[in-house]
Chains A and B, each alone.
Chain A
Amino acid sequence: MGVAAETVDRNRALQTEWYGEPLGDRVRRLLDRLGLSQSALAGVLGLSAPMLSQLMSAQRAKISNPAVLHRLLAVEELAAGPGFDAMAAAEVKERLAAISAEQAATTSGLRAAPSGRVPAGGAAPDGRDAAGAAGAGGGAAPGGGVADGAPVHAERPARLVQALLREVASAAEIEAAAALIGDRFPDLAELLRVYGNGRTSEAEAHYARIIRNARGH
């Protein structure tokens, strides 16, 4: 027996010991059940396609990243669930995306809790739309002060306007422009100054105030 074949045998034995069976068998069953390609499953698990291939062929024995094992278990649980057969393709896709976004619960204790952060579930749908349109960042809304009583979606539009202004002009240019129009158009000048040169929290507060007034709250 060659060295390579010996390694594979040894790794398959180790995998059986650690995971109940060789990973090749275990993962292939999952692929069939989900109708996924190997590289698509690798994406869901958050591991590279070559790594998944190495594990399945027992060139490597162990899943080193605990978060990957955690997601593998979650995918298996989904596929083995009683409702899986009745699940629409779109729902399966959504559930897989949710699993893919999961992180191992190892760091939750370390997460900072920025002041003024809105509790989960409070995000307004239009806030998401703005983020989607910007294609910016993704994920959690950046922390930072949100004005008292301001709707949560003040954060992203305000940031977008900031980004837009700062894309077309420097701080000095914005300041000069605001000075130029300040006498005749004070509100416009304030807008330039707040979004162009102010702190993000000021811009968010300004946005929340203006929109709230416009809606007659």
Chain B
Amino acid sequence: MFGRIVARIPCGRVFRTISVVDEAWVIGGRFTMLDRIGAGGTSRVWRAYDGAEERYCAAKLVRRRGRTSVLRAIREQALRSAHPHVLTPYASCTAGEDVLLAMDLVSGGSLETLLGDYGRLPPAYAAEVLDQVLAALGHIHGAGIVHRDVKPANLLLDPSPVGAPHVRLADFGIALGDDGVRLTTTGFAVGTPGYLAPEVLDWDRPGPRQDLYAAGMVGWRMLTGAGDPEPRQRIGARPEGVPPMLWTVLSHLCDPDPGRRFVDAAAARRALSSCDLELRFPVLTLDGEPLQIFEHLGPPPPHP
């Protein structure tokens, strides 16, 4: 079934082979690849069983570009990025032309899924999600990393029958190069235009405040129920039922002039907390239905 077999791949210092055992696809003698869970056409994320830690994980295959220091770069990045709202690899391994990054399995879908299911979200809910995203951004920015691709599809959620959101910022555009973590040089090949800040569209020179802009656009989607924003989207008039202060926070995040945005994620969080919104459980949608975050993956397929 998996016909193409890469002969010898280095995993640590030991050379191992990708072996075919009862049609199982095992990478690095450790990760049994079970089913593809990445939604997009380009992402290659699989549910895998990690035989070393005896647990299921998400195994992301990333094309390896440089030859040196790849694993070191990943490890360093993971260490710097450990945070409850950031999804980073806990293990990695080279696999032929790819690097396998093992991460926690997050099975409640993404904020994109949630927006598809419910449309506009209640303001207190949107504020909570936004706060968690900003907490994640504050952390990675503190570590010198710019995400560059903050959007609902990259905000994963844990399942919750009462709708309690726990956001994990995922899918760092891990630009692996010989110079280590080159997170700041990739141009238009990544990113969804509507979430790219004007200064990035014009100059392609990224910075932390572009992530704040993108977070603002995520907030705009939650509060309006609209689809993906256009480039240079104007947030427009405050929708009915959205507290004026929350809308003001959003307008500061989405300001086309980076100099007029919040100075950092922490400042945005402070402004958000002054909106004084309380999220009650179980969460209800705007039309009074229970807001639940479903389990999306189902039971794992059988494996040896």
Partner-B contacts on A (CB < 8 A): 46-51, 54, 60-62, 64-68, 103-104, 106-107, 109-112, 114, 134-144, 159-160, 162-167, 170-171, 199-201
Report Cα–Cα, A51/B117, bound state, in Å. Answer: 7
Instruction: Say whether, besides A62-B287, A114-B232, A51 and B294 are in contact (CB < 8 Å).
Output: yes
Question: Which size bracket describes the interface of B in this complex?
Answer: 35 or more
In the bound complex, residues from chain A placing their C-beta under 8 Å from that of B289 are 60-62, 64
Q: Give the CA-CA distance A171 to B289 in the complex, in Å.
A: 52
Q: SS class of chain A's interface: helix, strand, loop or mixed? A: loop
Given contacts A67-B225, A68-B119, 7 further A-B contacts (CB under 8 A): A48-B113, A67-B119, A110-B235, A111-B230, A112-B234, A134-B188, A171-B205
List, in ascending order, chain B residues with CB within 8 A of A137's CB. 188, 191-193
CB pair A110 B236 closer than 8 Å? yes
Q: Which of B196, B236, B294 contacts A109 (CB 8 A)?
A: B236
Seen from chain B, the residues whose Cβ lies within 8 Å of a Cβ on chain A are 41-42, 109, 113, 115-119, 175, 185-194, 196, 201-205, 224-228, 230-236, 285-287, 289-290, 294-296
- Rounded to whole angstroms, the CA-CA distance of A158 and B175 in the bound complex is 22
Cα of A50 to Cα of B250 in the assembled complex, Å: 31
Inter-subunit contact B116/A166 (CB<8 Å): no
C-alpha gap A199/B286 in the complex (Å) = 43
**How far apart are the CA atoms of A160 and B226 in the complex, in Å?**
28
Complex-state Cα separation, A110 to B217, whole angstroms = 13
Asked whether, in the complex, the Cβ of B234 is within 8 Å of the Cβ of A110, the reply is yes
Q: How far is the CA of A50 from the CA of B159 in the complex (A)?
A: 12
Q: Once the chains bind, are A67 and B227 in contact (CB under 8 Å)?
A: yes
Chain B neighbourhood of A112, CB < 8 A: 230-234
Residues of B within 8 A of A134 (CB): 188-189
A114 touches B231 (CB 8 A): yes
Check A170 against B185 for contact (C-beta < 8 Å): yes
* Residues in B neighbouring A103, C-beta threshold 8 A: 226-227
On whether the beta carbons of B296 and A50 are closer than 8 Å, the reply is: yes
B-chain residues with CB within 8 Å of residue A109 when the two chains form the complex = 236
